[in-house]
Structure 1
Amino acid sequence: MIKWAIIFAVIAIVAGLLGFGGIAGAAAGIAKFLAIVALIIFAIFLVLGFTVAKKIT
């Protein structure tokens, strides 16, 4: 998921440099959304990892 966020961020930068404002804004929005979702999923798995590890040991 982070890979896709980076790809969309690069697309946004290139589109912005070439003057495609609408496409750059949309790609930046998608990249931001994917990055936030990836961070939320990471936090969930981090909490689950700590709670399950305590129950196993």
Structure 2
Amino acid sequence: MLWTIFVILLVLWLLGLVSSYTLGGFIHILLVLAIIVLIINLIQGRRPL
């Protein structure tokens, strides 16, 4: 689930960066959120059911 959120945020960030519609730098918040989600996912790891 977190990988899906990470990929979605990363794609949105890339689209915003490529389209040059950066909203004054707020588009980089998406990159920060994607990295945070990735770090949380790596810290939690795979937990047994």
TM superposition score normalised by structure 1: 0.68
Structure 1 residue identity aligned to 2:41: A
Structure 2: stretches of 5+ with no match in the other structure: none
Number of residue equivalences:
45
Alpha-carbon offset, residue 18 of structure 1: 1.1
| Equivalent pair of 1:9/1:28 in contact (CA under 8 Å) | yes
The percentage of aligned residue pairs carrying the same residue is 18
Greater relative contact order (CA < 8 Å, ≥ 6 in sequence): 2
From the CA coordinates, give the structure whose radius of gyration is larger: 1
Alpha-carbon offset, residue 24 of structure 1: 2.4
Q: CA RMSD in A?
A: 1.6
d(CA) in 2 for partners of 1:39, 1:5: 12
Alignment correspondent of 2:36: 33
Structure 1: stretches of 5+ with no match in the other structure: 50-57
Which structure has the highest helix share of the two? 1
Query: Deviation digits for residues 2-56 of structure 1, max 9, x if unmatched?
Result: 110110000000000111152320100000000000000006x3xxx5xxxxxxx
